[in-house]
Chain A
């Protein structure tokens, strides 16, 4: 027993050195050299200023921006406490909340028919930090954003197409639009005018 305990102790320390130090060190050096941002989360810049992490969604509420999905992380898009709603599909309270979200979405996009409201825009993401929406969910918002910015709708549509990321190799998964990057390119388009 004592002999085994001593072996256990030494072996645990050996594993600490092998995994906790050696393995981690190799990955850390690799990340420092080859990753997009020296091992930290990749960032997006506008006019030389960091305005967000590329893969982390942000709360957008103003009419001049595209909106992301509803978030249950903290008070919304809190990147220190990721969380989903964990609401079950039959929960009445939750379904009532979805109805309110649909009505609100239609209020801000009065030109849409009810069956054009994408379900993803009225359901909370798993992490509460979902950085993406589908191209369809971006297109339905185009008119609102264009009107608020006084831009022609075609131009906003073109920006969405430009920011659409195709499925992996064009074959696997879904097309998506990174909301933050789309909004940044909107701001850039304005400053170009």
Chain B
């Protein structure tokens, strides 16, 4: 069998096999701290002590959310100040300048919300100091924020009736010390052995074989890449992310990095099952997500290995697949796999240029982010699915004439209102901003000219570039059709807005629903209860997601990738 396909299959098998034990570990971490990483307890205690945190303090959902939002606001100022002043700070051997305020605004927001959309290029837009103390730091702590929210929701779901959902600060700290830290360390060590640089020297100067001079950017890459992948962050050390041969030098590193994207989001679903002692529910959710993921993988791998039809018409040898914007050591199949993996999660790192994907692969990438519920970001991924679970429970409750209940709690008007707002905000943000930018592009060419013309490709594909950018922002993904000239005032600002709305509105809504449900009286299961862990209900949820999320985008997708596909 083709070794490229074998590589794809091996990666998926490794994910499935290892996500189960990791899920068990995560459940133990949040439930009672009886996991094997408990030797970190003294470090955690020391942190609580110097920060004045009482880890035993139980919070209700409002206090929990307040703590979450306050530390996020603090991180915003931390990041802004360091990014603008980076030119004057240490660890800057290449003498890179500070970011402009609008660029720093976009960078800061985008890393704060765990999106990692990058309107700069890592080699020249950051220093080693900001790479470590803004970018890498945010990649750890914002991933931990999402996981802490998930931990709170799990606690709320597990309890029969409760006012409190745990301690935000504690969840934040143990997510870092017991899950993200050990995993990043292991991945980092392997990457170093494979040749990913980890040093503080500036650019390396070499005289090439043909006698020219070549400068090679390097730096502490191996510290950032592991958490970039594991925390579903995706912000690359270098401009071209994991397609850069120093960020991803071998097929082995490619497998490891691709595995790292999806392992925690997958494990989170199992963790939910262990935590709630409802494994069947976890399996049915996992099944729906896996089905959607594999369908995307099959389509993209087929499309990319098949090549660009327009180049096939030139009658050259395209058996290697569509290689524009791909790397030889990675190949078409592994790039296609990554393009789906990075968009079903909110990761957004790339190992090839998505702008050059064939139209249908580009569409799958967009659709994954538009639906935004398959696996998703660490922690927040399940929360998005949770929104649709609530809606599905309500709709099926009405269909079969039973009171809508989920895990022994009645779903009522208030929860439904929140869930509906959260579910509809995402398409609204994406389509509103895409419409706005398209309108400006068509009717005010002066503004577009002044900003350098925006688009890198004409026609349908140009529209896709804009649609992709807002989709990626709103899904907190961070990948891009990078041909878009996006480091301008308009894009920095509008994407920044999309990022904020789409990170905090859902997280607030979902924690609120969980908190509200937790306070309600527990109703024991009876013959009249709608079963939520069956195959039928899983199919029902899938349908609700497809109808609400996917169909909202169908008209926009027809104007972009679908039209382009038929034009080839």
> Footprint of B on A, CB under 8 Å?
1, 4-12, 14-16, 18-20, 23-24, 26-28, 30-32, 34-36, 38-43, 46, 49-62, 65, 69, 77-95, 98-99, 102, 114-120, 122-134, 136, 167-168, 170-174, 176, 180, 183-184, 187
Contact = CB atoms under 8 A, between A and B. Distances in A.
A5 B223 contact: no
Contacts of A39: 192, 197-199, 201
Given A40-B199, A79-B214, A81-B124, A23 B51 contact: no
A89 B245 contact: no
B310 A90 contact: yes
A91 B215 CA distance: 32
Interface string B217-250: 1101011000000000000001110011110011
Contacts of A99: 314
B238 A82 contact: yes
Contacts of A1: 70
Closest 9 CB pairs of A and B: A39-B199, A86-B483, A88-B461, A126-B243, A31-B198, A172-B7, A173-B251, A84-B353, A86-B355
B71 A11 contact: yes
A183 to B, nearest CB: 6
Interface string B305-339: 00110110011111110111111111100110000
B240 A128 contact: yes
B17 to A, nearest CB: 16
A34 B217 CA distance: 21
9 contacts: A19-B136, A23-B184, A39-B201, A40-B204, A55-B246, A58-B214, A80-B124, A114-B316, A123-B322
Interface in B525-568: 564, 567-568
Nearest to A11: B51
Contact of B176 (A10, A15, A83, A172): A15
B400 interface: no
Nearest to B217: A80
Nearest to A178: B329
Contacts of B176: 15, 18-19
A56 B10 contact: no
B481 to A, nearest CB: 7
Contact of A117 (B189, B204, B238, B316): B316
B355 A43 contact: no
A112 to B, nearest CB: 10
B197 A40 contact: yes
B460 interface: yes
Nearest to A60: B210
Interface in B163-216: 169, 172-173, 176-177, 181, 184-185, 188-189, 192-193, 195, 197-201, 203-204, 206-210, 212, 214-216
B210 A58 contact: yes
B252 interface: yes
Contacts of B246: 41, 53, 55-56
B216 A53 contact: yes
B451 interface: no
B191 to A, nearest CB: 9
Given A88-B355, A115-B316, A120 B323 contact: yes
Contact of B328 (A10, A80, A122, A132): A132
Nearest to B461: A88
Given A12-B74, A26-B185, A89 B359 contact: yes
Contacts of A46: 209
Given A99-B314, A128-B240, A14 B195 contact: no
A126 B350 CA distance: 10
A52 B216 CA distance: 9
Contacts of A57: 245
Contact of A127 (B177, B193, B198, B243): B243
B488 interface: no
A9 B327 CA distance: 42
A83 B197 contact: no
A78 B246 CA distance: 14
